[in-house]
Structure 1
Amino acid sequence: MKPVTLKQIAGQLNISVSTVSKALKNYPDVSKETKLKVKELAKVLNYQPNAFAVNLRRKESRTIGLIIPEIVHHFFSTIIKGIVNQAEKEGYLVIILQSNESYELEKKQINLLLNQHVDGIIISLANNSTNFDHLNQVVLSKKPLVMFDKIAKLVNCSKVIINDRKAAYTATQHLIDAGCKRIAHFRGSLLPLNSIDRFLGYRKALLDNGLPYDPALVYISECDDTSFEEGKMNTRKLLEDHDDVDGIFISTDLVAIGALTECNKLGVKVPDDIKIIGFSNWFMSKVVSPALSTIDQPGYLMGEMAFKQLYKEITMQKNKESYYPEIIELETKLIVRESTAS
């Protein structure tokens, strides 16, 4: 059933479309009698204003775009919740797109959102995004852009981040304080900035404590998709090649739980034989056996702050006010559980 138009209301009342429009908006130059007739007929016919047309006239769509590497991931799902909850409070809808860690798909999605005239874009980069022309184009087009988690320093926009290097240092230092002297690192993909920073934090903690850094103990993902299976596979390789390792810092809890599972399967006792710490504080990390020590990464808060920053910039732009990119750094904390118990 087609929606009722102003023209239909005007035809039934034998008045102009502009008079109907003014009556519905309570313009003073329309009589009370005409306003009453228009509003009563509009109610009978279940007339609904065309929100898209109204927003187009206002030069806003009341929608934003969100691009994330993957939706079925605890960290990103909590971020989505934080963004959507804040967006609903301000009357915004969120178009959620998944890049599948693909640079080419990410580029297409940026173009799609720009063509849809969204009011702003929030993005966490795909692992293999090394060219940022598509994002710089968003900035050049004066469209508010906020990056979070996986970011590009070369893109001049606001960012919501944690200090990955500091958090990784804390995780590695915890293993050292628990007595580990030969510590491996499953770093995930090679390229994302947060993966690089976590590796650098791990290495610095070793060197600051007088422990040798051995590149053979750093395991890099063979594909962009960090997974449970990757944790199992890396653990098998590690135990075959380095039987003296007594600790592992793993860049994400999903991979760490894969490592725990493989240790249990092979009869390697955690934490007695080897201690394991993950990253992100996925809800599963406290229900596996042994419970996984980890770094708590505030996903929901990151989502909230990303939208709040984007909304601030959208509002300032609408009011013709100047705004400048901001870096919002959120705190992380060490969560100690059974997998690193002394």
Structure 2
Amino acid sequence: MAKTLGLSVGTVSKALNGYDDVSQATREKVLLLAKSLNYSPNSYARSLRNKESKTIGLLVPEIVHHFFSNIIHGAVETAEKHGYVVIILESNESYDIEKKQLQLLLDRNVDGILMSLADNTVNYKHIGKIINEGTPVTLYDKITKSVDTHKVLINDQKAAYNATKYLIDSGCRNIAHIRGPLKPQTTIDRLKGYRKALEDHNFPYQKHLVFESKHFSFEDGKAIAGIITENFPEVDGVFAFTDLLATGVLVELKQRHYKIPEDIAIIGFSNWFLSEITTPKLSTVNQSGYEMGQESVKLLLQEIDNRKHDRPYQYQTIEIPAELVIRDSTKKIKSLK
């Protein structure tokens, strides 16, 4: 192209990339010839020259998951607006797969990484190593306090507190909680919120009414509901870690001829689409995955830009609001007289 136009390679390159020190006439001449030749710039070669790939990695625990699919949507849309491509990988809640996927992203020379920790992640040295070696990492949703970096999350403790408080205010007196393994901070904080709500309302924390789900599955919810009905008939409320668990509880209780919410009230977490199609419709805590994806990308790109220009920066923690969505699986709060 340079030879055809009688220009230097540098001038043609500057014209194609919109540099200001190339005249409008020269730029138009270069662009016209490029169009006639169906020329498109080699983005990989450009990335090598600029020492940036214009790609970011997004690691999710599960792709087929309502909440994480919304995060993907918000992240990809925001990244594309800033000229970035997103490589999406799944850890399948595995610590070993998480490490392999992170290495794959590094091998692809991504400019930064967004990640939510796998439930089975046992330590965080691999994440600290990535950050120390110069690749920015933003943690979202399932985070750890052990790594100093940007974080985007909801206030899980406050959200769980409000969910449990609603059950108390609606008349429940023996409230069970279904939690996950005590590894991600989200599980710990939701348990803390549940416990604090009980204590603030002068109800004893009963350890035997806290049940662990290892897989956060519909089947786990059904199984735990069976244990509750057979061993703890005093339970009149259930706060579940996810909507999928809560749905399992709801279905099992109905099969055992319990009236919901009259006999046992149920509240879940996440506001999945299925929470609106259960019978009765499931009360839950809404968390905006789309907004979390947006804010995570914004923080990551800010850090990438600051590092690129050697500007100082401070790590931030952004809290995404969460709110109760009250439907038919919980009793209505009677107005105070």
TM norm. shorter chain > 0.5: yes
Within a 5 Å distance, the mapping from 1:137-156 to structure 2 comes to 137-156=129-148
Is the alpha carbon distance of 1:135 and 1:22 closer, same or farther for their aligned partners in structure 2, counting shifts above 3 Å? closer
| d(CA) in 2 for partners of 1:121, 1:293 | 34
| d(CA) in 2 for partners of 1:72, 1:21 | 43
Give yes or no for contact 1:190–1:220 (8 Å, CA) kept in 2.
Answer: no
Within a 5 Å distance, the mapping from 1:64-79 to structure 2 comes to 64-79=56-71
Aligned to 1:199: 191
Q: Which of these residues, 58, 63, 66, is aligned with residue 55 of structure 2? A: 63
Is the alpha carbon distance of 1:102 and 1:29 closer, same or farther for their aligned partners in structure 2, counting shifts above 3 Å? closer
Aligned to 1:119: 111
Is the alpha carbon distance of 1:25 and 1:336 closer, same or farther for their aligned partners in structure 2, counting shifts above 3 Å? closer
| d(CA) in 1 for partners of 2:310, 2:44 | 22
Is the alpha carbon distance of 1:242 and 1:166 closer, same or farther for their aligned partners in structure 2, counting shifts above 3 Å? same
> C-alpha displacement at 1:180, in angstroms?
0.8
Aligned to 2:335: none
Question: Which deviations, in whole Å up to 9, do the C-alpha atoms of 1:1-35 show, x marking residues without a partner?
Answer: xxxxxxxx4677798755654665688799x7898
One-letter amino acid matched to 1:310: L
Give yes or no for contact 1:188–1:220 (8 Å, CA) kept in 2.
Answer: yes
| d(CA) in 2 for partners of 1:147, 1:158 | 6
Q: Which of these residues, 201, 205, 208, is aligned with residue 213 of structure 1? A: 205
TM-align CA RMSD: 2.3
Is the alpha carbon distance of 1:202 and 1:24 closer, same or farther for their aligned partners in structure 2, counting shifts above 3 Å? closer
Give secondary structure in 2 for the equivalent of 1:338. coil
Q: How many correspondences in the alignment?
A: 331
| d(CA) in 1 for partners of 2:52, 2:231 | 58
> C-alpha displacement at 1:66, in angstroms?
0.5
1:310 aligns with 2:300: yes
One-letter amino acid matched to 1:175: L
| d(CA) in 1 for partners of 2:313, 2:257 | 57
> C-alpha displacement at 1:217, in angstroms?
1.1
Which stretches in structure 2 are left out of the alignment for 5+ residues? 333-337
More moved, 43-52 vs 123-132: 43-52
Aligned to 1:53: 45
Aligned to 1:161: 153
1:265 aligns with 2:258: no
Is the alpha carbon distance of 1:314 and 1:18 closer, same or farther for their aligned partners in structure 2, counting shifts above 3 Å? closer
Give yes or no for contact 1:26–1:35 (8 Å, CA) kept in 2.
Answer: no
Aligned to 1:5: none
More moved, 293-302 vs 153-162: 293-302
1:324 aligns with 2:324: no
Q: Which of these residues, 202, 226, 233, is aligned with residue 243 of structure 1? A: 233
More moved, 200-209 vs 124-133: 200-209
TM superposition score normalised by structure 1: 0.90
Give yes or no for contact 2:15–2:26 (8 Å, CA) kept in 1.
Answer: no
Give secondary structure in 2 for the equivalent of 1:340. coil
Which stretches in structure 1 are left out of the alignment for 5+ residues? 1-8
